[in-house]
Every structure is written in C-alpha cells, then in structure tokens.
Amino acid sequence: MVTMKETPHIKPNGVEIAETVLLPGDPLRAKFIAETYLENAQCFNEVRGMLGYTGTYKGKKISVMGTGMGPASMGIYSWELINVFGAKNLIRIGTCGALQENIELYDVILGMGSATDSNYGHQFNLPGQFPLTASFELLQKAKNIADEKGQKVHIGNILSSEIFYHADPTVMKKWTDIGILSVEMESVALYWNAIQARVNALCILTVSDHMITGEHTTPEERQTAFTKMMEIALELA
C-alpha cells in the first residue's frame, strides 16, 4: 500500500502537484486560471477553501494554488509545496499597491528583490542582513516573454509588508523615496523559503491600487482581469 503525501493544509487526494506552481493570493483566482487556461485540470486541494489545481498548459504540467494573505500564510503553503511535494519553481501572481508616480493601475511588476518590515527571516539566525532576491533564471525568462508579447513591465525592488493599514501615513512615503516600486505582503516568505531550499521563486505583480493617487480596482477585477501577468507566468512553465 502506497501512502500518499499530505499535510494538515494540503490534501491532494491522489492528484499530482507539478514542480512548477503558480501562487495567487486569492483561491478564486486559482480557480479562474485553472478553468480558463489549463487543460484537464483537477482539483488537488480544498482544505480551508484554499483551492489548488493541476492541469497542463501547452503540454506542460502546471499547478496553481491560492496562498491567502500575508507572510504567515504564504510561509506555510510555500514551505509545504517545496519540502513535502517537491515544487521547484514557485511563481507568485499577485496584486500590489504602486509606490511610484510613473506606475499605473494594471501595470505589471517583476519583483527582483524584496525589502521587508517582517521578522520572518529571524528564524534563520543569520549574523546580519540577507538580500531577498528572485531567481535570476525566472526573472530573465519573464522579461523575455514580456518583450516578445510587447508587454511593458517594471523590474525592481518591492516591499513585502506585514501591515496593510498603517497607523503612520508617512511610512509608505519613505519607501517611495528610496525607490521601492510597490508594496505587497507575501514575497518575503516566498523568497526566504525558496532561497533556503535552493529552488526558484519569482513575484509577478499587477498593480491593483495606487498608494499615491488613491486609485484602485474592484474585487471582481482582482480575480479575473489581471490576465497579462497570468499569461507571462504560464509561459514561464
């Protein structure tokens, strides 16, 4: 009798999880991607409503799974996908808030490096600061794919914050002044887990909110309208 791998948070019920996994924060975005882009998609997880699917895209097996919000949630799911299920390429496809005036709603950002206000990295007990960077291989390929599609992307450092509603309104301006492109909440845990396990990770983000102008998209658009980053991520596989 073969015992199938499972965790308290991911129960695949015999469905294989691919080495390349797309990771939207919203599980309904995972469902949309599976139903819209993948062939023969099978649901491999429904625990806590965090939907995950495996199917094929242009003949390549790909999985897609929601991660929830914040480094704690991303930390759990990405760690289990890497260390229990053998994921090798983890691509976050999420939303972010723009911190620079030249960036607009729906623009795509490739997170080359992740600055953070999180304590997630303290567990590694390093005697100094460690630069959280994306996989250069995935970053380079994503840029090439965007160029082939004629899709403009912004490449640079993003902020991974544990705080969505800041009590101090000047906090984001400080990150803006130092050149951070956007703010989101998950890349710190994803990049740390990938770096520690020697696997590949990249954050591909769509601007859903603008922290300077106050513009924002609707919840429905966040689930289904951000197709440019989805297609770049799928081609990476």
Q: Is 25 annotated as a binding residue?
A: yes
pLDDT reading at 2 higher than 80: no
List the catalytic residues: 209
- Largest separation between any pair of C-alpha atoms in the chain: 59
In the block, which residue shows the tokens 């998950």? Answer: 186
For strands 52-57 and 89-98, give the pairing. unpaired
pLDDT at residue number 4: 63
Q: State the DSSP string of 154-198.
A: EEEEEEE-S-SS-SSTTHHHHHHHTT--EEESSHHHHHHHHHHHT
Q: How confident is the model at residue 219 (pLDDT cuts 50, 70, 90)?
A: confident
Judge whether 235 and 145 are in contact, CB under 8 Å: yes
Structure tokens at 215: 């513009």
Give me the pLDDT at residue 3, please.
46
Cα distances (Å, whole numbers) of residue 195 to 38, 112, 121, 186, 201: 28, 13, 11, 15, 8
Question: For the residues 178-195, what does the mean pLDDT come to?
Answer: 98
- Has residue 218 got a pLDDT over 60? yes
Domain 20-236 has CATH 3.40.50.2000: no
Q: Which runs of consecutive H residues, i.e. helices, occur in 20-135?
A: 27-37, 71-83
Q: Is 48 annotated as a binding residue?
A: yes
Q: Which two tokens stand for residue 135?
A: 């996989």
pLDDT over threshold 70, residue 158: yes
pLDDT per residue as tens digits for the range 25-84: 999 999 999 999 999 999 999 999 999 999 999 999 999 999 999 999 999 999 999 999
- Please report the pLDDT score of residue 47 as a whole number: 98
Q: What is the pLDDT of residues 88-140, one digit of tens each?
A: 999 999 999 999 999 999 999 999 999 999 999 999 999 999 999 999 999 99
Question: Does the annotation place 69 within a ligand binding site?
Answer: no
Whether residue 162 is annotated as binding a ligand: the answer is no
